[in-house]
Amino acid sequence: MSIPTVIPPPPRPLRTVTGTPPPDTDPGAGPRLHIVEWVDPVADPHGMHPCSRYVELYWLGIIGPSTTWLLRRLTYGLEVHGDGFDLHLPETARSLGLGDKMGKNSPFRRALARLVTFELARPHGPGGLAVRQHIPPLPLRHLSRLPESLQRSHRRWIAEQGLTETEQMRRRATRLAAGLAEAGHDRGAIEARLGRWHFHPAVAFKAAAEACGTVDHGRTADHGRTADPRRTVDPADPGPSADPTAPGGPAHSADPGGTTDARSTADYPGSAS
């Protein structure tokens, strides 16, 4: 599936009488693509934010980092310009570290093509691209391409979707507390760490108590053998946040992943109203 044809740059101005071309007075001249939101009434209610940990954990390994960052950049632009905006292609490519080449096999054009190939975007009229703002769960046909640890994590995530938010939070706190306890952290440190990750104090207290009790019992059974200090929490866990599909990495914050702040066009190179 090919990406839509880009909007060609404006024609170059005529030469002056002396034969010297006038200076380029429009630094924004160049190929552009008009970006709009892809509204999908069926999939959107079940989708995740492009800046969520779900997309980072599961989609990134399928579409690649360049396409993931491009998807997030387009999301930022649509949050600033809800009715759509013109994306300056060479400038956007440079801002993502992909150079400014616009050939068919250039890194930036391949990143655009992957958005369409994996149905995260679709052509929208001549010179336009409609982009999803709610990323659907990873299709099962792609899941086998992920490492086994992420496949297990994804199966656990699917199983937990039928649980209440409170139960999901409790289970994640228990898993993370167990990992911290096995890494040698004491009860107070575990409870404090869970608190910094924005777990409810009661949930953090109980998870830390259960984790330390389990570890202490295991050490007694093993005649004092201590846990390997190199062990850490599961890196494939969707995160301690009550909602692993929310933006912002491992915990909620006042500015989750930079998606709730007031943005200006200047903050995101390549977009123009």
Alpha helices in 39-164 (DSSP H): 53-54, 60-63, 65-80, 89-95, 107-117, 140-143, 148-160
State the chain's mean pLDDT as an integer: 77
Q: List the strands of the sheet with 85-88, edge to edge.
A: 121-123, 128-132, 32-38, 85-88, 271-272
Check pLDDT > 80 for residue 12: no
Helix/strand/coil for 158: helix
pTM for the complete prediction? 0.64
pLDDT one-digit tens code per residue, 230-243: 444 454 555 444 34
Check pLDDT > 60 for residue 140: yes
- The residue assigned the tokens 């002056």 is 16
pLDDT one-digit tens code per residue, 125-139: 888 999 999 999 999
The identity of residue 235, as a single letter, is P
**In the chain, where the domains are located:** 32-141, 147-248
Residue 34's DSSP bridge partners are: 86, 128
A 10 A CB-CB count for 263 gives 16
CA neighbours closer than 13 Å in the CB half-sphere of residue 244: 23
Considering only residues 87 and 217, tell me which one the structure prediction assigns the higher pLDDT. Answer: 87
DSSP element (H, E) containing 225 = none
Residue 236's DSSP bridge partners are: none
